[in-house]
Amino acid sequence: MFTINTRIFLPLLYIVWSDDLLTADEFKILSTFIQNQDWLSAEEKEFLDSKLDLALPPTRSGLNNWRKEIAEIVAVNPKMLSLFDLQLKVTSSDSLELYREDFEVLEQKLGILGSEALLKFTQNDKNQTYNYETDSTFAVGKMTSILDGDVADAINEVKKVISTPEFAYETSTDVNVYREKVLEWCFILAEKNLGNRAYPKKYGGGENLPEYFAIMETLSYHDLSLVIKFGVQFGLWGMSIQSLGTEKHYRKYLDKIGKLEIPGCFAMTETGHGSNVKGLQTTATYNHAEKTFTINTPTPKDQKEYIGNAANHGQMATVFAKLLIDGTDYGVNAFIVPIRDENMKPLSNVEINDCGLKMGLNGVDNGTISFHNVVIPKENMLDRFATINEKGDFISPIPSDNRRFFTMLGTLVGGRIGIPRSALAAAKVGLAITIRYSDQRRQFGPEGGSEIPILNYRMHQRRLFPPLAQSYALHFALRYLTQRFIDKTPEKMQEIEALAAGLKAYTTWHATATLQECREACGGKGYLSENRIDRLKNDTEVYTTFEGDNTVLMQLVAKNRLAVFRRQVSEMDSMDKVSYVWNQTKVFFSEKNPFTTRDTSDSHLLDTEFHLKAFYYREHEITTSAAKRIKKLIDSGLDAYDAFNVAQHQMIDVAKAYLDRVVLEQFLIKIETLEDSSSKTMLVKLAQLFALHKMEENKAWYLENHYFETSKSKAIRKMVNQLCWDIRPDAVALVDAFAIPESCLAAPIAKKI
């Protein structure tokens, strides 16, 4: 039987027998401790030792009785702080208080944390983690209005359409069924004048480019094959005519394209040339006598590949080909080439193959096209930037083939706006499904308590909230990009092209990473197709590749930034160095004093001005350092191509730092304009999280550059955790504010109960 002296061991005996982490070693430690206590009698020692015999464990019910007895004591003494407090209570006496320290040393040896051990005996769902619930500090409808802005009407128009029964999801795994369904959807959209929204009114369109982008974005909530098919037909095919052609082409084609009477393709990419489109090998040879062009695919590697609308539905294509006149190569130009007759049979000499099953976007009929000396009339040359006169001479206002080609590409930059907007919409759907599910899904919890919504776990918040904040930030950045594109002037085109290329890469990578987190955060449910994460992920997967491979685009952005930088430096050289202000350079250099590099006060860490300065500082320093490095490499005798190759990794950093800054800056500018204070407060919190999370991602760089002291770097990590925790109650409201139609959140796990 237990005595007062032996009863003090009862909680420990229970722990060593029940814990799943303790090992035989611990039995030995406890046993040795017992032998060493002179206040225990020999009988007591023997009794306790018998309770520690590995060959003779207590019975299951014996163990449970111990637990019950202890738990009752815990229940009536809720204020106990340590295991030893409990042990004393179990003895119903204070006589052993003087051994407190000995027991604490023992417990440390056993690896038992004082108050953690108490949990084993309590019914506990009163902790902070448990009691953190969904709430909303702002009006969801107001936030939606802020997000939708001045294209709300077009957005609502699309939402209405995609919520109709005709747009019920296609679940067949038969690719042909899916492709026909997507085509059917496109016809409905054409009929509702949603496809031709950007075309001139004169040709049946709406002359409203902002709405066109909003339509594409909103369709992305529904089905991404539809978006791409839509984008190929009305964007790539139609807008290539609008951007590269002239009046005669508009008259002949635009209205019919907008009505989907002529399904068409955009045939640029070749098997041998993807991102390096300048290297295209398809030829268009001018025939003086007949005033025609012969379109030809010289070798199988030069076939057009991945061409949307080609495998099943396209009747014509804008084909990019090297123009040859009398054996002279005049660079890449664009031509309209019929590829199928009205019975959808490929024309003779046009060879079309199906790209087959893809990772995603299987509702789009991608194919390859080879031309075997296909003859087209002269008027089929899209001749806005170059033409052939009556004498058969090549005429262009842009003498350089290179520059002419890039000017042509520049007019097509809209694709690099539509794609990131679509990618972001997909990421929003993923976040909405995942955050709603995580708010309801309960798993684990304190011993004896009920389970906890997984959104209350800090790691789960870490996974989902920085992407949520970044999605908000990118929403406004992409709106800004769209506006810049709409307000474009020739002088600003280079900057806008770089911004579009950069944000395309930045946003599509964001979508890929976010949807990956969503997939994992939804566990097994995230793997079932019914919950849509798989399709969102697989469909957007190629967004990082098409419209220019992201890594290649980031190199281009960096080159552009270096050029801008060099220009600014040269301007600086011609001025008094002391007066040099590179944007806010002077201001942010002043940040690097010992006080600020160590400032870890909350008010400083949350100060958006500090964030923006830190972003500018990083951008400036990284750009300077890359420029210097490349110059040094070249000066040391390295071939320039090698030098840029050596610096590729750094170049990506240049582009990222630039884009981070633009995204934060535009987010803050937008927030400044808002009036509703609760939305504003919420968005400021998201901007803080976005900024600090990026700084945390780049903390090694900041430490290397002594912009932070160690203490600040650690304080930032803590603040990111704190912001995640603070945002938790609003998380569901924040995804509700995206106002994604419920029909598009068809995932069973996203249903609100």
Is 579 near its own copies (CB under 8 A)?
no
Candidates 152, 324, 569, 684: give the one binding its own copies (CB under 8 A): 569
The reply to whether 174 sits near its own copies by the rule CB under 8 A is: yes
Distance of CA 10 to the CA centre of its chain: 54
Distance, CA of 390 to CA of 222 (rounded, Å):
50
Nearer to its own copies, 148 or 401 (CB): 401
Task: Give me the 87-106 binding string for its own copies, x by CB under 8 A, dash otherwise.
Answer: ------------------x-
Least CB distance to its own copies at residue 334 (A): 17
Q: Looking at 45, 358, 488, 592, which residue binds its own copies (CB under 8 A)?
A: 358
Q: CA 71, CA 380: separation in Å to the nearest integer?
A: 87
| Residue of 505, 515, 494, 514 lying closest to 546 (CA atoms) | 505
Side chain identity at 737, as an amino acid letter? A
188 is a site residue for its own copies (CB under 8 A): no
Among 648, 678, 681, 751, binds its own copies (CB under 8 A): 648
Interface with its own copies (CB under 8 A), residue from 642, 669, 678, 751: 642
Site string for its own copies, 7-46 (x = CB under 8 A): ----------xxxxx-xxx---------------------
Choose which of 267, 381, 542, 622 interacts with its own copies (CB under 8 A). 542
Stretch that binds its own copies, among 212-220, 232-240, 451-459, 670-678 (CB under 8 A): 451-459
Q: Which residues, 6 or more positions from 500, have their beta carbon under 8 angstroms from its beta carbon? A: 413, 416, 417, 481, 485
Distance CA 607, CA 601 (A): 10
**Residue 550 φ/ψ, nearest 5 degrees:** -55, -45
Residue (192 or 631) nearer to its own copies, CB: 631
Query: Segment contacting its own copies (CB under 8 A): 114-122, 185-193, 223-231, 468-476?
Result: 114-122
Q: What is the DSSP string of 418-451?
A: HHHHHHHHHHHHHHHHHHHHHHH-B---STTS--
Which of 211-219, 369-377, 640-648, 669-677 is the region at the interface with its own copies (rule: CB under 8 A)?
640-648
Q: Identify which of residues 27 and 207 has a Cβ nearer to its own copies in the complex.
A: 27
Q: Give the separation between CA 92 and CA 595, rounded to whole angstroms.
A: 56
Under 8 Å between Cβ of 468 and 731: yes
User: Of 652-681, which residues contact its own copies (CB under 8 A)?
Assistant: 652
Applying CB under 8 A, among 256, 403, 592, 604 the residue interacting with its own copies is 403
Q: Where do runs of H (alpha helix) occur along 120-270?
A: 140-148, 152-162, 175-191, 209-219, 224-230, 238-244, 247-249, 255-258
CB of 618: closest distance to its own copies in angstroms? 14
Cα 538 → chain centroid: 13
When the beta carbons of 26 and 619 are compared against its own copies, the nearer one is 26
Stretch that binds its own copies, among 34-42, 86-94, 338-346, 637-645 (CB under 8 A): 637-645
Residues 278-317, interacting with its own copies (CB under 8 A): 279, 305-306
**638 contributes a contact to its own copies by CB under 8 A:** yes
Residues 212-271 that bind its own copies (CB under 8 A): 269
Distance CA 744, CA 74 (A): 50
Give residues 419-438 in contact with its own copies (rule: CB under 8 A).
none
Q: Does 276 bind its own copies (CB under 8 A)?
A: yes
Distance from C-alpha of 479 to C-alpha of 493, rounded to nearest angstrom: 17
Rounded Cα–Cα distance for residues 448 and 661 (Å): 48
547 interacts with its own copies by CB under 8 A = no
Cβ proximity to its own copies: between 638 and 684 the closer is 638
Coil, strand or helix at 461: helix
Specify the DSSP element, H or E, that contains 215: helix 209-219
Q: Which stretch binds its own copies (CB under 8 A): 512-520, 660-668, 670-678, 739-747?
A: 512-520
Q: CA of 137: how far to CAs of 128, 134, 668, 679, 680, in Å?
A: 19, 10, 20, 8, 11
Report the residue from 144, 315, 545, 597 that binds its own copies according to the rule CB under 8 A.
545
Give residue for tokens 């902790």: 127
* Token reading at 504: 């395309």
Over its C-alpha atoms, the chain yields an Rg (Å, rounded) of: 33
- Say how far apart CA 210 and CA 231 lie, in whole Å: 14
Main-chain dihedrals φ then ψ at residue 327, nearest 5 degrees: 80, -5
Nearest approach, Cβ of residue 143 and its own copies (Å): 28
Q: Which span sits near its own copies by CB under 8 A: 124-132, 310-318, 342-350, 594-602?
A: 124-132
| Residue 344 touches its own copies, criterion: CB under 8 A | no
| Residue 343 found at the interface with its own copies (CB under 8 A) | no
**Least gap, CB of 634 to its own copies (angstroms):** 5
Residue 405 token pair: 């080609």
Query: Quick one: CA torsion of 671, 676, 679, 683, rounded to 10 degrees?
Result: 10
Whole-number Å distance between alpha carbons of 45 and 210 = 84
Confirm or reject binding of residue 512 to its own copies (CB under 8 A): yes
Q: Could you tell me if 282 and 302 are in contact, meaning their C-beta atoms sit under 8 angstroms apart?
A: yes
Q: Does 577 interact with its own copies (rule: CB under 8 A)? A: no
Q: Counting Cβ atoms within 10 Å, is residue 135 exposed (0-12), middle (13-18) or buried (19+)?
A: exposed
Nearer to its own copies, 52 or 215 (CB): 52
Beta-carbon neighbour count of residue 717 at 10 Å?
A: 15
- The least CB distance from residue 95 to its own copies, in Å, is 26
Binding residue for its own copies, selected from 273, 436, 510, 561, defined by CB under 8 A: 273
Nearer to its own copies, 146 or 319 (CB): 319
Distance separating alpha carbons of residues 138 and 120, to the nearest angstrom: 40
- Residue numbers 684-713 binding its own copies by CB under 8 A: 699-700, 703-706, 710, 713
Q: Is 537 in the site for its own copies (CB under 8 A)?
A: yes
* 90/633 with CB nearer its own copies: 633
Q: Which is nearer to its own copies, 73 or 569 (CB)?
A: 569
CB atoms within 10 A of CB 562: 19
Tokens 């401790």 correspond to 33
Q: How far is the CB of 41 from its own copies (least distance, A)?
A: 26
